[in-house]
Chain A
Amino acid sequence: MSFKSIYGFFICSLLLILTACSDADKEKELVDLFTTASQDLIAIDFPAGTTQDTISINTFVDYKIEGLKSNGIDVIPLNDNITWSLSAGAISTIDQNGRLSSGSVAEVVTITAKFGILTTTSDVFVSAAKFDRVIMLNSTPVHVNMCQAEQIEPIGSYLNDDGTEEIRPVDNTIINTITWIIRNQEDDTPSQRAFIKTENDLTELQALEAGNVIIQAKAMSLSSGNIVTSVDFNQTLDHNLNSLKLCLRSETDLAACSLSNTDITENAVVSLMAVGNYQATDGTTLNQNISAYSKWGTDNNSSSTIAFSADRQQLNVTGNTQNTTTNITVACGNIEQTVLDSEIENGVVLDVPVTCASGDINCLPSTAAINIVDTTVTSLDVTANGSALVDDTPLALSFTPVTIILKVTANYSDDSSQDVTTDTNVIYNNRSVPIIIGIPASPGEYTVLTAGEADIQIIFQSQIFIARITIP
């Protein structure tokens, strides 16, 4: 090996070593500034109501933090780049996902979350008191309407060895072990009006009907070693449901959507949702997807197959047999059909129609026909006064017309097309009433009232076209 190559090797090695040396300590503060600035934050904190003053030994709590943006108003959740730590000497531990695992002895720990240059802390007392029983369904009264769900945080009684009592939320290690008993208040019979479900350590009260129920919590008392059942918790399941309708799951405007029938081909799937219109206490109304807690049925389970999606936010209808029709029914409340307890837990989907008893105000139904056809509409072409429209894209007119006349052409899966403007199954939703108004008995024809943007939603067999026309 020559002197030159040894010399070159030495220089390169030296430079590589120098490259590897960096001012790590000096970098930290600048890097922290960048981390904080990347999210544009000025402060971080634990979200309100997410921290607990006291938790039990040998349990765990997942902590999250949120950041306050520099505008002082917006708050965002933070999931990454958080450094979690506990006060020195803590027996409990915390991982870098924010999960505090409490130790086996009582202690006070301070949890510190650091995001860039920002930090926040929370003190927690790890208590050796043992869970005895659930004493409250939730720290505050629970208000829930039929076919809705509310998260609850059961409160438990914890007993120390000296007999002193602590009242606090039930730990994550206990919450999953509680058996909930629900009875009808008027006759004390087992109730299907509600269901309590705990998933991922979160508990929610699902209301399936209106009425009054009695709820009890049964669990193993770590204090006594016995199974203990709580006192009765009286709970009202409110009504406040004005109406129920069916819509395509793809609809985003829950106020305007509607569905009376649609076509699908064999083996195709259409997804439906049940939309409930609720009355709020402030006099306003609210539209909500209540598919999960509604009860579904079909009058022809050979024509099509129905099933909930995994998250129960939609009902999937699969066409089985061409040239047949399935009537999908949905109801919120006390239906006439018998429902199994397992269906109350997993979602009610029956192979018969669901019906409400005549005059029963605690049951609201809706229905839609699904036609299994050999061809289906793949798209809609729409013109306004002869000019082609692009879906959900405004067409600016150069002059103000007296009327707007739409022409709707349906394109089918077999490559055929058909003018369906006057087809009774075409739904025209005029969402711009002060601008244009429909001409009676003339589908797709409108009288222009004033300047502005006309907005008409056209629905035909699960195809949706938004016609927008800017009128000068």
Chain B
Amino acid sequence: MGLATSLMDIRTDTGSTSPIMADISLGYAMDAHKIELVVMSSIKDDNLNQLITDIPIASSLLYRFTATPRNSLHLDLILGYSQVDIEASYVNVPGFTESYQGVSFGFGLEESLKSIPALKFKIDFIQLYRGDQLTINSYNVGFRYEF
């Protein structure tokens, strides 16, 4: 089970915004393989001049493969599928809402706390969505507890 804070990066050729989200994950780990369901919820929106963007909710189903199981610092390769809902508002324009789905991939670093080996500190970078003109990335920092 994991808790993390995510800095999202909604990026186009002409600009980007970075809403902040909180995510909770539940999963199952077996040796070097982990599968998890991640649900992210908005903490803070972000703006580009008069454009305000927010991600009310995002969810991912991810497979994580630990490439360095024998090291204390684990390097995870991440592959999965995500759905990201984006809300946007701009002056004199009706509100915009759209949902983007796509294959996600990334990598993460994880290390156990020496005092509580089951509690792991993790940092992830995941490209949640990659489109023709739009990319959604997430930078996550948090903890994972392995029961």
Contacts and interface: CB of A to CB of B under 8 A. Distances in A.
Interface of A: 15, 18-19, 21-24, 26-31, 33-40, 42, 70, 81, 116-117
Kindly name the residue among A19, A28, A81 whose own CB sees the greatest number of chain B CB atoms within 10 A.
Answer: A19
Q: Which one of A35, A36, A117 has the highest number of Cβ atoms from chain B below 10 Å of its Cβ?
A: A36
Contacts, number: 85
A204 B110 CA distance: 69
Contacts of B50: 37, 40, 42, 70
A31 B134 contact: yes
A76 to B, nearest CB: 13
Contacts of A38: 14-15, 48-49
How many B residues touch the partner, as a band? 20 to 34
A22 to B, nearest CB: 4
Interface string B97-137: 01111110100000000000000000000000111111000
Counting from the closest, the 10 A-B pairs by CB-CB distance are A37-B51, A22-B131, A40-B49, A38-B15, A38-B14, A34-B12, A27-B134, A31-B133, A35-B14, A37-B48
Interface string B26-52: 000000000000000000000011110
Given A33-B93, A34-B12, 11 more contacts: A18-B102, A21-B102, A27-B100, A29-B96, A30-B88, A30-B98, A31-B13, A33-B90, A33-B96, A42-B50, A70-B49
A27 B133 contact: yes
Contacts of B61: none
Contact of B90 (A19, A24, A37): A37
B130 A19 contact: yes
Contacts of B88: 30, 33
A30 B134 contact: yes
Nearest to A27: B134
B51 A27 contact: no
Given A22-B102, A42-B91, A70-B91, A28 B133 contact: yes
A241 B143 CA distance: 76
27 contacts: A15-B103, A19-B102, A19-B130, A22-B102, A23-B100, A23-B101, A27-B100, A27-B131, A27-B134, A28-B133, A30-B12, A30-B86, A30-B88, A31-B134, A33-B51, A33-B90, A34-B16, A35-B14, A35-B15, A38-B15, A38-B49, A39-B49, A42-B50, A42-B92, A70-B49, A70-B91, A117-B93
B3 interface: no
Main secondary structure of the interface of A (DSSP, over half): helix
Contacts of B10: 30
Nearest to A117: B93
A39 B90 CA distance: 13
Given A24-B132, A37-B51, A117-B93, A29 B14 contact: no
A28 B16 CA distance: 15
A256 B108 CA distance: 63
A26 B98 contact: yes
B95 to A, nearest CB: 11
A38 B17 CA distance: 10
B79 interface: yes
Contacts of B96: 29-30, 33
A64 to B, nearest CB: 19
A192 B130 CA distance: 65
Contacts of A15: 79, 103
Contacts of A42: 50, 91-92
Contact of A34 (B15, B79, B129): B15
Contacts of A37: 15, 48-51, 90
Nearest to B101: A23
